[in-house]
Amino acid sequence: MARLGHNHVVNSRTLRGSIWQGGSLDNSGFDITVPVNELVVDDNTARTAEGEDFPLNVSEDAKQSTKANMLRDTLLDGARYPEIRISSVRVHGDAIAPVVIAALRIRDQTRQVTVPVTLSTTDTGLQVSGAFEIKQSDFGITPLSIAMGALRVVDTLKIKFLLVAVAE
């Protein structure tokens, strides 16, 4: 059955929030909300960016099934918990590549994560990129497992992001 599965790419095009840049890193931060029910599963553009382990053209049925599974009450529970929220707790280190301590809330669980980021200034604002890993089980989520584990989702997820903040 494992041959029937594939790696997934889940992304958001509708996140909301604020990023502020103070006179120092200690006075900078962010507060971002990701609408769970608007997450996009296995988009070809996102899959291309991830490389050869993410072949293109996942069927629409497979995409819809994956999203339905992801949103059900035993996983993200999009009906009861429609948002994922990540907020800075502390920003420190180098001004171009700071380290962010953030509070990540998924469902009803909040955990602190350490996120190394890269900052760059653009003509219209600020660009922030980085990556970190989380375990679903740390947020009270038991990864999906079917047929006594023959097809299962791994516990550790890699979160990658590129945020473009436009000055108001």
Determine the pLDDT at residue 154.
84
**Does 21 have pLDDT greater than 80?**
yes
Q: Which CATH number fits the domain that encloses residue 108?
A: 2.40.128.110
The closest of 137, 76, 133 to 107, measured between CA atoms, is 76
Rounded-to-integer distance, Cα 4 and Cα 46, Å: 20
Distance of CA 145 to the CA centre of its chain: 21
Average pLDDT, the chain: 89
Number of domains, the chain: 1
pTM of the model: 0.87
Residue 168: helix, strand or coil by DSSP? Answer: coil
**Phi, psi dihedral angles at 47 (to 5 degrees):** -65, -40
Percent of the chain residues past pLDDT 70, beyond the cut: 90
Q: To 10 degrees, the CA torsion angle through 74, 56, 133, 82? A: -40
The average pLDDT across 148-163 equals 79
Residue span of the structural domain in which 33 resides: 2-166
| Residue 3 pLDDT greater than 50, yes or no | no
Q: Is 106 helix (H, G, I), strand (E, B) or coil?
A: strand
**Residue 43 clears pLDDT 80, i.e. is over it:** yes
Helix (H/G/I), strand (E/B), else coil: 67: helix
Task: Express each pLDDT in 98-138 by its tens digit.
Answer: 999 999 999 999 999 999 999 998 888 888 999 999 999 99
